[in-house]
Amino acid sequence: MNNEPNRGMNLTQQVANTLGNAIIKGVYGSHNPVPSEATLCEQMQVSRSAAREAVKSLAAKGLITSRARQGIRVLPETEWNLFDADVLRWIRDSNPSLELLREFTELRVAIEPEAAKLAANRQNSEKISAINDALERMSKAENGLDDPLESDIAFHLSILNASENRFFMQLGRIIDTTLRVSIRFTNMRTGVRAGNYAEHKKIYDAIANNQPEIAAEQAANLMQGALNTIVSALKEDNRPVPVVNS
């Protein structure tokens, strides 16, 4: 087994990581079943117990089902636990489809405006200061003095944190993953390398000035813009190829 991508993992985690990546990328599926535990042991040079525990782990994440005399079967994407940290990481690394990006962004449209509204209502000065710190990083990123992606992500996660809603805060992982993929796509699509500082500042100003409705509106405008970019790309991808008469 190539241990470079699995550094710091035990054998069971290495097997699960290798198989999970392969499943998400479509290497295994109805066209190509996952090998049996015995074959996995042979291919990956691991013990039967390591292979068995890895299979159990992937089954718990909703990726596969394993039954006696039926083998290991990959489950449909609708069964995958998209809130699982490993599944999210594998999706992030797999160049996900525009359809999945659209669904991720629809989740952001539903959540982030409400988080901004709550942050403006609750006025935790320390947490609002963290939003400002992230905004300042975004300003520096526009001048090449900070990382555009990391500063943008920090801004959005700090708003979730400032909402002081524990459920929203725990959605940080999925928002982080969504942003790492969608920001790259939307920036490439719009020709913009860094996040739009001015639009993000409108959200911060409304939060800092205790204007919950405006904060929600500004956040919704930003989320909807990203969603519109993805939907537009989907429509282009699905556009019929024109017939050229010879």
The domain that holds 62 is classified in CATH as: 1.10.10.10
**Domain boundary residue, one of 29, 47, 79:** 79
26 found inside a domain: yes
57 found inside a domain: yes
pLDDT tens digits, 57-68: 999 999 999 988
Tokens 């989907």 sit at which residue?
Answer: 234
Point out the residues of the chain with pLDDT beneath 70. 1-7, 187-195, 239-246
The answer to whether residues 105 and 72 belong to one domain is no
pLDDT tens digits, 19-36: 999 999 999 998 899 999
The answer to whether residues 141 and 44 belong to one domain is no
The answer to whether residues 115 and 43 belong to one domain is no
Residue 70's pLDDT is 80
8 A C-beta contact, residue 222 and residue 108: no
Question: Which burial class, exposed, middle or buried, applies to 233 when counting CB atoms under 10 A from its CB (0-12, 13-18, 19+)?
Answer: middle
The answer to whether residues 112 and 44 belong to one domain is no
The answer to whether residues 129 and 202 belong to one domain is yes
245 found inside a domain: no
Question: Which burial class, exposed, middle or buried, applies to 100 when counting CB atoms under 10 A from its CB (0-12, 13-18, 19+)?
Answer: middle
What residue numbers bound the domain in which 16 lies?
A: 4-79
CA distance 82 to 77: 9
Q: What's the alpha-carbon Rg for the chain, to the nearest Å? A: 21
Residue 129's pLDDT is 98
* Total number of domains in the chain: 2
The answer to whether residues 180 and 224 belong to one domain is yes
At 134, which CATH number? 1.20.120.530
Residue 28's pLDDT is 95
The answer to whether residues 66 and 109 belong to one domain is no
pTM of the model: 0.82
The answer to whether residues 50 and 103 belong to one domain is no
Residue 239's pLDDT is 55
The answer to whether residues 191 and 116 belong to one domain is yes
48 found inside a domain: yes
